[in-house]
Amino acid sequence: MDALATLFQAQNSVFFIAIVAMFGLIVGSFLNVVIHRLPIMLENTWRHECEEFLGLTSPPQETSTRFDLIFPDSHCPSCQHPIRAYENIPVVSYVLLGGKCSQCKAPISLRYPLIEITSALVSSIVAWKFGPSWQTACALCLSWCLICLSAIDIDRRLLPDAIVLPLLWLGLIISLLDIFTDSRSSIIGAVIGYVSLWSVFKFFKMVTGKEGMGYGDFKLLALFGAWLGWQSLLLVLLLSSLVGSFIGVAMIALCKHDRSVPIPFGPYLSAAGWIAMLWGDGITAWYFRLAGIQ
């Protein structure tokens, strides 16, 4: 009976992970839309606000074109061919179309299936780690948003408040339920997360006269402080610095990356925070054992 119960649980676990992975693929397709459109939406909003502030009036238009995450429908940027439903199946459509538009044969960026696959893989790991629980639901939401933030930061050197700030508040709210940490640790973590990088930023600017990072990085670390508590912040910073240093050196050595061109720190913070969310306690315990503290 015990063996049958174990087998049943294993089958249910595999089924649950598979369902979450498939859902992650679908979400990944929407993430591609957010990654492309959200920065443009923000730029349009900022331009309009600047025009209003400066008293500039745009010429009247008979029709205003709506542009958001829903409209207009997805289309080929080269020939404006509308993307049909069967041409928008995550990963599958890209493979069947040979990575090209069905009409004009213009190449489709490899990023689209990569984001979808990444979303599915990340989702399945979260499901495997936490199982059917509130932790999985919350961790999936954070993971998908981190994928968006990382891709946008790579493209635009921008971590949009429209994503970061709602996530920060969500981390504070779920701390009331002790899903990842308690409220006291969450609030302290949000404060320390922001102030710590802000202090480094101010000191670096005072010494060098340059800005070493953006304000979005402060908010992102505050976000992880809110979700995981202040106890995880040092681990997040160490992991992000380690990964960032390794990739930065590799880009300079292998890809001839210009040292004067800044490398976005958001993706490294995102990866480190995600790792800390899943395995932070284990990594910390392993380090303490290695150091002979425990």
* Residue 92 domain-assigned (yes or no): no
Q: How confident is the model at residue 62, as a pLDDT? A: 47
Residue type at position 246? F
Whether 257 and 118 map to the same domain: the answer is: no
Integer CA distances (angstroms), 110 to 81, 95, 118, in order: 19, 10, 12
pLDDT in single tens digits along all 294 residues of the chain: 555 455 556 667 899 999 999 999 999 999 999 999 999 999 988 988 888 888 886 555 544 578 888 888 888 878 888 888 888 888 988 888 888 888 888 888 899 999 999 999 999 999 999 999 999 999 999 999 999 999 999 999 999 999 999 999 999 999 999 999 999 999 999 999 999 999 988 888 888 877 777 789 999 999 999 999 999 999 999 999 888 777 766 666 665 555 666 678 899 999 999 999 999 988 888 876 776 665
In a domain, 89, yes or no: no
What DSSP line would sit under 207-219, residue for residue?
HHSS--S-HHHHH
Same domain flag for 23 and 141 = no
Looking at the structure, tell me whether residues 39 and 51 fall in a common domain: yes
Q: Which amino acid is at 223?
A: L
Look up the domain containing 291 and give its range.
133-294
Q: Are residues 112 and 153 in the same domain?
A: no
115 and 171 housed in the same domain: no
Q: How many other CB atoms sit within 10 Å of the CB of residue 150?
A: 22
**Same domain for 205 and 138?**
yes
What does 118-133 look like in DSSP terms, one character per residue? HHHHHHHHHHHHH-SS
Q: Domain for residue 88, yes or no?
A: no
Residue 97's SS3 state is coil
Residue 121: C-alpha distances to residues 22, 23, 246, 248, 271 (Å): 10, 11, 23, 25, 14
Model pLDDT, residue 293: 65
CA–CA gap between residue 278 and residue 123 (Å, rounded): 12
Q: Which of 116, 115, 131 is nearest to 278 (CA)?
A: 131
Q: What is the pTM of this model?
A: 0.90
What is the number of structural domains in the chain?
A: 2
Query: For residue 259, which amino acid is it?
Result: R
Question: Does some domain include residue 97?
Answer: no
**Assigned domain for 102 exists:** no
Rounded Cα–Cα distance for residues 281 and 122 (Å): 19
